[in-house]
């Protein structure tokens, strides 16, 4: 191993054999390098053809190059002294003990260990998933592996949105063209993980029912138009999108929900009163909630309930519900 300042032009930055970094944020690092230079030497592997592969320090090289630096401090290994897999593991340990890997980086790690270095699944599950902060699970391994094939813009969306693995893997189930079509909607509405899963389920179910592609679902039902208005808040877009998809997927259920809402409105309950029922009308029970902080408000509720009973509006609701 040799220490020296090496010309960045001699480093094969395009060789990503040992790289696992995805979507690096170089700004803070550039501020540091601009101020005091590269503090920790990068690690390089000197190949038989005379070029230098980056073992670790990829971000330091990129940041230095963007700042116009000509050289960087480096510890250099000859190729006979460190094998490719040991170079990769060197970088893996350097990363996992200095920062948290994002999902795509974890996917790159398990993919390279499996496809390039022939590490068996059992070892990946027992040794390398825990090293990266994941549980010992074949399901987790397969979910991470699926992310490698996701299109690049969706990989970026997954990282920037900090999606949980389960949701990211759901997106990976779609074809590349479907992922690209879905991305327009996802970037507009920015759904939570649970809402994302619900939207994907509804879109997939409609696609299967109608026998058309996901892209055609988005076009046929004009879903992109629902989220296109930049002045509409993301939560309002999600609400409109969910209502539209539910109406398409379960039109009769949506009709029933609309009918029931009209019956509730006819009760003219005071502000703060909320009548809750099973949205699928499978549970026959109802729950009336009311917030109040004065006796007069409670008396108001009782008066409204009494009036509704006199007009047999409650009876009408129960008869409709049971039917």
CATH of the domain at 76: 3.90.1530.10
Q: Residue 151 in contact with residue 180, Cβ under 8 Å?
A: yes
When pLDDT is averaged across residues 257-264 and rounded to a whole number, the result is: 83
Are 270 and 224 in the same domain? no
pLDDT at res. 264 = 84
- Range ranked top by mean pLDDT from 95-99, 305-309, 310-314: 95-99
Write phi, then psi, for 130 (nearest 5 degrees). -60, -35
Are 212 and 289 in the same domain? no
Q: Where are the alpha helices (DSSP H) in 55-175?
A: 58-66, 84-96, 103-115, 121-123, 129-131, 138-147, 152-161, 165-172
Q: Using CA atoms, how far apart are residues 50 and 72, in angstroms rounded to an integer?
A: 17
Least confident of 23-32, 111-120, 249-258, 290-299: 249-258
Structural domain including 39 reads 1-99
Structure confidence at residue 320 as a pLDDT band (50, 70, 90): confident
pLDDT at res. 173 = 94
pLDDT at res. 316 = 83
- What is the tens place of the pLDDT at every residue in 87-146? 999 999 999 999 999 999 999 999 999 999 999 999 999 999 999 999 999 999 999 999
pLDDT at res. 265 = 86
pLDDT at res. 249 = 85
* Residue 120 located in a structural domain: no
When pLDDT is averaged across residues 242-263 and rounded to a whole number, the result is: 82
Are 2 and 71 in the same domain? yes
pLDDT at res. 298 = 86
Task: Indicate if the pLDDT at residue 279 is higher than 80.
Answer: no
Are 298 and 315 in the same domain? yes
Boundary residue ending a domain (219, 249, 279): 249
Chain mean pLDDT for the chain: 92
Boundary residue ending a domain (67, 99, 131): 99
Boundary residue ending a domain (50, 81, 99): 99
- What is the tens place of the pLDDT at every residue in 27-55? 999 999 999 999 999 999 999 999 999 99
* Residue 303 located in a structural domain: yes
- What is the tens place of the pLDDT at every residue in 157-207? 999 999 999 999 999 999 999 999 999 999 999 899 999 999 999 999 999
Share of the chain above pLDDT 90, in %: 67
pLDDT at res. 309 = 83
CB atoms inside a 10 Å sphere around CB 172 = 21
* Residue 124 located in a structural domain: no
pLDDT at res. 274 = 86
Tokens standing for residue 271: 């502000």
pLDDT at res. 68 = 96
CB atoms inside a 10 Å sphere around CB 96 = 18
Are 207 and 236 in the same domain? yes
Please state the domain count of the chain: 3
Share of the chain above pLDDT 70, in %: 99
* Residue 242 located in a structural domain: yes
pLDDT at res. 237 = 92
């Amino acid at each position: 191993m040799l220490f020296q300042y090496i010309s960045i032009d001699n480093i094969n930055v395009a060789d990503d054999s040992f790289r696992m970094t995805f979507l690096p944020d170089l700004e803070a690092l550039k501020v540091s390098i601009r101020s005091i230079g590269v503090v920790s030497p990068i690690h390089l592997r000197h190949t038989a053809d005379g070029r230098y592969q980056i073992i670790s320090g990829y971000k330091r090289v990129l940041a230095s190059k963007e700042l116009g630096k000509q050289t960087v401090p480096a510890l250099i290994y000859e190729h006979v002294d460190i094998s490719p897999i040991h170079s990769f593991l060197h970088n893996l340990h350097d990363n996992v003990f200095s920062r948290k890997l994002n999902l795509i980086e974890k996917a790159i790690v398990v993919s390279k260990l499996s496809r390039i270095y022939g590490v068996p699944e059992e070892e990946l599950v027992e040794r390398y998933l825990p090293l990266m902060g994941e549980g010992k699970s074949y399901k987790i391994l397969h979910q991470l592996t699926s992310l490698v094939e996701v299109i690049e813009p969706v990989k970026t969306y997954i990282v920037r949105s900090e999606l949980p693995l389960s949701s990211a893997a759901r997106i990976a189930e779609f074809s590349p063209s479907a992922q690209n079509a879905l991305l327009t909607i996802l970037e507009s509405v920015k759904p939570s993980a649970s809402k994302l899963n619900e939207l994907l389920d509804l879109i997939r179910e409609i696609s299967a029912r109608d026998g058309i592609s996901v892209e055609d679902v988005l076009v046929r039902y004009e879903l992109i138009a629902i989220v296109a208005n930049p002045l509409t808040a993301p939560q309002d877009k999600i609400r409109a999108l969910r209502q539209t998809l539910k109406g398409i997927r379960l039109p009769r259920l949506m009709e029933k929900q609309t009918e029931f809402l009209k019956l509730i409105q006819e009760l003219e309950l005071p502000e703060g009163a909320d009548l809750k029922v099973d949205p699928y009308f499978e549970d026959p029970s109802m729950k009336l909630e009311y917030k109040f902080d004065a006796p007069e408000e409670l008396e108001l509720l009782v008066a409204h309930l009494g009036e509704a009973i006199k007009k047999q509006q409650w009876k009408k609701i129960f008869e409709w519900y049971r039917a």
